[in-house]
A = this chain, B = another copy of it.
Amino acid sequence: MKNWLSEAPTVPANCGECPVRHLTVCQPLKAERLEIVQNFKNGDRVLPAGSQLYQPGATCPELYNLLDGWVSLYRVLESGRCQILGFALPGSFLGFQPDLHGPMLHGAECITDVAVCVVGRRTFPALIERPRGLAVRLAQMLSQDAIYAHDNLTNIGARQARARVAHLLLELYLRLNGGEFKTANQEVGIPLTQIHLADALGLTSVYISVTLRQLREEGLLSFRKRRLQILDPVGLAEVAEYDGEPAVQDISPLDRRLAGG
């Protein structure tokens, strides 16, 4: 697993040059206050595809802003089965957990070559209390993480395989495009193998294969050679049981049971 359709990731000279600042936890900081976090930084780091940012069960002395590349967050059961919890894209803040200095509850593996901005764990509490708005921004991002997890949970728990695959690819497409469809049939690069999809969706890679073939034969999407093409957005959203903005529920789960739905 090598480079991802691009040269090696590069790192910014300083926080002012950070290419993903508006996506990161630093977002609320005005330019002149950036040097506060700059002083807390332990520099940047580049990791090759396939390497581990941190491992489940081990302690990790740092926290990371993902600057470039894709990272998978995962857990492994004793049975050997691997569950991918989600995919982190540039701007993600990685490694925070309630017990800040305890062993990591999940692992982080670089899917592509990756660049991260490093912050020491020991100094982090001092940093987070300093600039106004930083802690709230962190809360906002963690809340978004929980929502992504809820999306995945709903996807795995409540949808059939076809819908799961369709939904995940649609969601990734939208995340990469800022939530909108660009030109029709536009291709977008997604550096995942069918094994990644399987581990993320609670399926096997062979069933991913047949499902992708079905979706392709139905003219909904094409995902080959790590390039995704949405051929029929409307049809795909239907198959995916996608609810962009959930409609107001005038009927509760309890009532639905009572109604005999």
Residues of A within 8 A of B (CB): 1, 50, 52, 55-58, 72, 74-83, 85, 96-98, 103, 105-107, 109, 125, 128-129, 132-133, 135-136, 138-147, 149-150, 152-154, 156-159, 195, 199-202, 241, 243, 245-250, 252-254, 256-257, 261
- In the assembled complex, 13 residue pairs joining A and B whose CB atoms fall closer than 8 Å, in A order, are A1-B254, A52-B252, A55-B249, A55-B252, A56-B246, A76-B253, A82-B158, A83-B157, A85-B150, A103-B246, A106-B150, A142-B146, A149-B149
A contacts with B: majority SS: mixed
Quick one: which of A72, A98, A109 has the most chain B CB within 10 A?
A98
* This protein's copies in its complex: 2
Nearest-CB distance from A239 to chain B (Å)? 12
Contacts of A128 in B (CB 8 A): 136, 139
Q: Are A80 and B261 in contact (CB under 8 A)?
A: yes
Q: Are B245 and A83 in contact (CB under 8 A)?
A: no
Q: Are B241 and A78 in contact (CB under 8 A)?
A: yes
What CA separation (Å) do A72 and B133 show in the bound complex? Answer: 31
Contacts of A156 in B (CB 8 A): 153, 156-157, 202
Q: Are B106 and A143 in contact (CB under 8 A)?
A: no
Q: Are A248 and B57 in contact (CB under 8 A)?
A: yes
Nearest-CB distance from A71 to chain B (Å)? 12
Q: Are B154 and A85 in contact (CB under 8 A)?
A: yes
Among B1, B107, B154, which residue has its beta carbon within 8 angstroms of that of A75?
A: B154
What CA separation (Å) do A199 and B256 show in the bound complex? Answer: 13
Q: Are A253 and B55 in contact (CB under 8 A)?
A: no
Nearest-CB distance from A3 to chain B (Å)? 16
Contacts of A261 in B (CB 8 A): 80
Nearest-CB distance from A100 to chain B (Å)? 9
The answer to whether A80 and B146 touch (CB under 8 A), given A156-B153, A157-B156, A246-B56, is no
Q: Are A254 and B109 in contact (CB under 8 A)?
A: yes
A243: nearest residue on chain B (CB-CB)?
B78
* Closest 3 A/B residue pairs (Cβ): A157-B202, A135-B135, A149-B149
